[in-house]
Amino acid sequence: MSDLQSILREPRYDLVKMPTPLQRLSGFERKLGRSGLYAKRDDLMEIGLGGNKLRSLEFWLGAALQQRADIVLVAGGATSNLCRLTAAAASMAGLDCLIIHNAADNPANREGSFLNRLFGAQTRFIGPVGEDERGAATKAAAAELTQQGRVPYIVGDAVLGALGYVLAAFELHEQSQRESVPLRHVFLAGSMGPTEAGFIFGNAMLGHPFQVHLVSVEYEQAELEARLQRIYDGIAQRTGLSVGGLDRAPLHYHMDHLGGGWGVPTPEAEAAIVAFARTEGILVEHVYTAKTCAGFLDLVASGGIPADEPACIIHTGGTASLFSQREQFRTVS
């Protein structure tokens, strides 16, 4: 536990009541004729409909407050979970929030980002530009604010944000021991990396109790690996901890659910959404969690995960987006 001190001394703004529930998926256990299936419910948090980004925001807002910022800036799509949760958390911390949406200013996108304005954020639509241009626009907006005498903080440092999931690995490990659940396999969405890299680093600090399965929802494997490597090395550098290289981590990449790429639905993802809703009463959405759930169900049903090895999917939230995805469904009207 003492290794954790280098992380725990980072400033943190308290947002998440930990631990989030570790829920037994008894409906799937019955259906699949096996036991040992769980969901870690990071979608069940008190703020803004919950989700993985709140764990990162504890560190980002901690840093913003330490730097005496009075406004946070964040960038993302119209229905971005990061943007929504930043708006919610900033309002709690008494900080203003400016959101740069890399999306067209049209009624559908305004509706998608409605919750951000409900949380009191100001939203700016800069058109459907890529990640680099969005980053540049955010920096320019911050510079403008500085000139006006404000103290801006840009949310999103991947290494700092990953620390939230280093702690989550410890939380899940402690919880599984306390609840006598000998968890062996943990499933996560493979995306931009902070959540996964943080969890993998925490797992390494613990001596690798978990086999980590990443179901890619955004990038081809080489790009996902490169992102994880950068963040993983960044965590080692920031914390001064040496836990062995990423190449030594028990890590499994699952690329067969990526389909047409980020945000493009697949029939298997839709089937997983329906199965989770109708078997467990759990809502998952298309962009991040549905493909991850599809990968999880695939492996547990096919015997890819041995029946005597308990497995857990981390539900990272994003549920609010489901309400703007109705037209993407083919089997539910």
Q: Which residues bind ligand PLP (CB under 6 A)?
A: 51-52, 81-82, 189, 191-196, 288, 316-318
Q: Both tokens of residue 1?
A: 């536990």
**Which of 34, 43, 30 has the alpha carbon at shortest distance from 275?**
30
Comparing CB distances to ligand PLP, the nearer of 32 and 277 is 277
CB closer to ligand PLP out of 170 and 219: 219
- Shortest distance, position 146 Cβ to ligand PLP, whole Å: 27
> Residue 122: beta bridge partners?
98
Give the nearer residue to ligand PLP in terms of CB position, either 7 or 189: 189
Task: Provide, rounded to whole angstroms, the least separation between the CB of residue 168 and ligand PLP.
Answer: 11
Six-digit token pair at 278?
A: 């109708």
Minimum Å distance from CB 63 to ligand PLP? Answer: 17
Q: Which is nearer to ligand PLP, 23 or 150 (CB)?
A: 23
Within the chain, how many helices (H) and strands (E) appear? 12, 10
- Of 146, 98, 152, 103, nearest to 122 (Cα)? 98
Cα 57 from Cα 87, distance rounded (Å): 10
The CB-nearest residue to ligand PLP is 318
Smallest separation (angstroms) from ligand PLP to the CB of 317: 5
Residue whose token pair is 């999917």: 313
Q: How far is the CB of 178 from ligand PLP (least distance, A)?
A: 25
Nearest-approach distance from CB 18 to ligand PLP, in angstroms: 18
Q: Which residues contact 47 (CB under 8 A, 6 or more apart)?
A: 15, 16, 54, 85, 88, 89, 92
C-beta closer to ligand PLP: residue 123 or 195: 195
The CA-atom distances, in angstroms, between 254 and each of 30, 269, 310 are 25, 14, 18
Rg (CA), the chain: 19
Q: Which helix (H) or strand (E) holds 203?
A: helix 194-205
Of residues 310 and 318, the one with the C-beta less far from ligand PLP: 318
* ω into 182 cis (within 30 of 0): no
Nearest residue (CB) to ligand PLP, 34 versus 268: 268
- What's the min distance (Å) between Cβ of 193 and ligand PLP? 5
